[in-house]
Amino acid sequence: MELLSGLLSSLGLSGAAGLNAFIPLLLVGLLSRADVVHLNAPFDLLGNPWVLLGVAVVGLLDFVGDKIPGVDHVLHVAGGVVNAAAGAVLFAAQSGVADVPPALSMALGLIVAGGVQATRTAVRPVATATTAGLANPVVSTVEDGTSLMLSALAVFAPLVAAVLLAVIVVGVYRFWSARRGRRLI
């Protein structure tokens, strides 16, 4: 049961990192400092006060920048690397409890977070183009809120987080398929 819980938690956290790299990193680091979450070395560095401060500062800059049309697109390009790396670290940090080899854990986290980030990067220009950028702050806030909710669920209710991640993936796929279908007609 611990293996399944650890894997589901890892999936949820890496999926949340695909939406916003800094929210799940900050949450896991803070929960580690509060002894709610145990992280093995080297991932226990996420609970270091200086690392938390750095993640919080960069996360705040990302939070603000992601609300500005144009700046958000630059952040999404950089996020292709940052979000995928955060997902890899979070997956490995959580699944380390479940005896999954670290290299496999990091690869899985990279795939999950990178996939969510790539989808987010592909969908955002549609919101920008159809609303002249006016929807960007709203879409970004929804992404951030979803990342926070998914992160908290991944830690405290991993099964619910995995189901939510699946619902998000299916919903985005259906939206994107319907959108592409309309273009062909």
Handedness of CA 1, 23, 68, 141 (dihedral sign): positive
- How does residue 153 score in pLDDT terms, banded at 50, 70 and 90? very high
pTM attached to this predicted model:
0.86
Mean local confidence (pLDDT), 6-28: 92
When comparing pLDDT for 46 and 170, which is higher?
46
**How confident is the model at residue 67, as a pLDDT?**
87
| Banded pLDDT at 185 (limits 50, 70, 90) | very low
Q: What is the average pLDDT value for the chain, to the nearest integer?
A: 86
Separation between Cα atoms, residue 133 and residue 38, nearest integer Å: 41
Cα separation of 88 and 56, whole Å? 19
How would residue 127 be classed by pLDDT, with cut points 50, 70 and 90?
A: confident
Tell me the pLDDT band of 68, cut-offs 50, 70 and 90. Answer: confident
CB 92 within 8 A of CB 122: no
- What is the per-residue pLDDT across 83-121, written as a single tens digit (0 to 9) for each? 999 999 998 887 555 567 778 888 888 899 988 888 888
Q: Tokens standing for 51? A: 């690392």
Percent of the chain with pLDDT over 70: 92
Helix axes 22-33, 49-65, angle to 10 degrees: 150
pLDDT at position 4 is 76
Q: How would DSSP label each residue in 49-85?
A: HHHHHHHHHHHHHHHHHTTSTTHHHHHHHHHHHHHHH
